[in-house]
Amino acid sequence: AQSVTQLDSHVSVSEGTPVLLRCNYSSSYSPSLFWYVQHPNKGLQLLLKYTSAATLVKGINGFEAEFKKSETSFHLTKPSAHMSDAAEYFCVVSDRGGYNKLIFGAGTRLAVHP
Amino acid sequence: DSGVTQTPKHLITATGQRVTLRCSPRSGDLSVYWYQQSLDQGLQFLIQYYNGEERAKGNILERFSAQQFPDLHSELNLSSLELGDSALYFCASSVGQGSNSPLHFGNGTRLTVT
Size of interface A-B (CB pairs under 8 A): 65
The answer, for B102 touching chain A at a CB cutoff of 8 Å, is yes
Neighboring chain A residues of B31 at a CB cutoff of 8 Å:
100
pLDDT at residue A100, rounded to an integer: 67
CA distance B20 to chain A (A): 19
Would the CB atoms of A102 and B45 count as touching at under 8 Å?
yes
pLDDT at residue A27, rounded to an integer: 82
Would the CB atoms of A45 and B2 count as touching at under 8 Å?
yes
Rounded to the nearest angstrom, the gap between the alpha carbon of residue A29 and the centroid of all alpha carbons in its chain is: 19
CA nearest to B70, candidates B22, B19, B30, B108? B30
pLDDT at residue B35, rounded to an integer: 95
pLDDT in tens, B47-104: 999 999 999 898 899 999 999 999 999 999 999 999 999 999 999 999 887 767 788 9
CA atoms lying within 13 Å on the CB side of residue B38: 15
Report residue B17: phi and psi, to 5°: -80, 175
The average confidence (pLDDT) of chain B is 93
Q: How far apart are CA A19 and CA A4, in angstroms?
A: 19
Q: What is the pLDDT along chain A (114 residues), one digit of tens a residue?
A: 788 999 999 999 999 999 999 999 998 777 889 999 999 878 899 999 887 778 899 999 999 999 999 999 999 999 999 999 999 999 998 866 555 678 899 999 999 999
Q: How far apart are CA A40 and CA A61, in angstroms?
A: 17
Query: At residue B17, does pLDDT exceed 80?
Result: yes
Which residues pair with residue B19 across a beta bridge? Answer: B78
pLDDT at residue A42, rounded to an integer: 81
Q: How far apart are CA B41 and CA B49, in angstroms?
A: 22
Q: How far apart are CA A51 and CA A33, in angstroms?
A: 7
pLDDT at residue A75, rounded to an integer: 98
